[in-house]
Amino acid sequence: MSGNALRDLNTLPGSERKNGSSSKGRGGGGGCVGLYIKNASFAIELFQTFVRTVMSGNALRDLNTLPGSERKNGSSSQGNFAKLYCENSDENVEKWERKNSASLVSTTVNGDGTVNPGVEIGNSEVEYIESENLSDVDDIDTCVRTLLAGLDSKDWILVCESLNNVRRLFIFHKEALLDMLEDVIPLIVKSLKNPRSAVCKTAIMTSADLFNAYNDHLIDSLDPLLVQLLLKSSQDKRFVCEAAERALVAMTTWVSPTMLLAKLQPYLKNKNPRIRAKASMCLSRSIPRLGVEGIKSYGFDKLILVAASQLSDQLPESREAARTLLLELQTVYEKSHDPTLTVSEHSELSSWEHFCRSKLAPLSAQAVLRVTNIGREGLVLGS
């Protein structure tokens, strides 16, 4: 055994060193090997605990439950990961996962036909490529022919490469995949559900390019994508959350708001308050894209009910999105009823007030009027 093994062995109590020595004599170093296996198992268990932990406070609490000897005498890899665990730095976690969980294990077949599992073939690191930096595929026909098998592979490196090829085809040859979307989108959703962060984030970036490329053509397949993006944008792993939020922005930018509103509204009543908040933000971005005529056609009464319901939501993101939407509705309502109306200190909002009181319960109408009057006063002061 190396010097490290002897040093670890010397940290054991005398009785354990004695027993370890005897076992070494009987079993060829079993005590040292057992010690190293214990350390490796500890590192794996610590990583699994970290993945299951969703709040930094939980991470610190879980780490503090470890015996003092394990916290103090862990191996160098344990110590480095424990430091990462305590700091709860999302950026470092992403780098650690991409670098240290990328060790590939291959199953090979020997010449006599027997299987030789567990051959390590090296470490790989997935690179997240922005859409504007993607290059065209070398061979379109080969890429399209092997695409579905690559997306459905058990090799996560191959899945990430296939997802990036999908993105290239979306950008440079979107017509080549138009007839395959029914097969491609479920595999993208499958990758969105993948617990490995590299696969999940690459699938999120693929979703953003999908919205950009196909707009309303994918509306019938939007539901499974939407629910996963709302879930991913609501989690605590920041680098995944931010990528999902960018994909949702792409969705509200490129998909028709008329079609999108019907898809978003069920999530405004979701039991998860963070999903409700993300859906509210998507809604507040989509409605202004309808324009004056589109909002009138959709119905002021429907939209004000939706906005008022979010005004008393649990999370501030929902409430802020509702305030933004209400101010937009107020402006459009006034212009549609009196095109000459402008924002000034003499503008009376009697028609808007009457509309709110006629469509909403008294308490809801009062809350809406308070928000829109404060917003109007801020506009007047700032003009």
- One-letter-per-residue 3-state SS of the chain: CCHHHHHHHHCCCHHHHHHHHHHHHHHCCHHHHHHHHHHHHHHHHHHHHHHHCCCHHHHHHHHHCCCHHHHHHCCHHHHHHHHHHHHCCHHHHHHHHHHHCCEEEEEEECCCCCEEEEEEEEECCCCCCCHHHCCCCCCHHHHHHHHHHHHCCCCHHHHHHHHHHHHHHHHHCHHHHHHHHHHHHHHHHHHHCCCCHHHHHHHHHHHHHHHHHHHHHHHHHHHHHHHHHHHHCCCCCHHHHHHHHHHHHHHHHHCCHHHHHHHHHHHHHCCCHHHHHHHHHHHHHHHHHHHHHHHHHHCHHHHHHHHHHHCCCCCHHHHHHHHHHHHHHHHHHHHHHCCCCCCCCCCCCHHHHHHHHHHCCHHHHHHHHHHHHHHHHHHHHHC
In degrees, rounded to 5, the angle at the alpha carbon of residue 57 between the alpha carbons of residues 67 and 102 is 75
Contact call for residues 258 and 288 (beta carbons, < 8 A): no
Q: What is the pLDDT of residue 372?
A: 92
Q: What is the pLDDT of residue 337?
A: 75
Q: What is the pLDDT of residue 375?
A: 53
Pairwise CA distance, residues 366 & 5, whole Å = 73
Residue that has been written with the tokens 């996962």 in this structure: 97
If you count them, how many residues does the chain have? 383
Q: What is the pLDDT of residue 380?
A: 41
Q: What is the pLDDT of residue 216?
A: 94
Q: What is the pLDDT of residue 125?
A: 66
- Give the pair of three-digit tokens for residue 211: 């919205």
Taking the chain (383 residues) in consecutive chunks of 10 residues, what is each chunk's mean pLDDT?
A: 46 47 43 44 56 43 43 44 45 51 37 38 67 94 96 96 97 94 97 95 97 94 96 90 96 95 94 94 95 92 94 93 95 78 48 92 94 63 42
Contact call for residues 290 and 257 (beta carbons, < 8 A): yes
By C-alpha distance, which of 208, 189, 191 is closest to 155?
A: 191
Q: How far is CA 203 from the centre of its chain?
A: 10
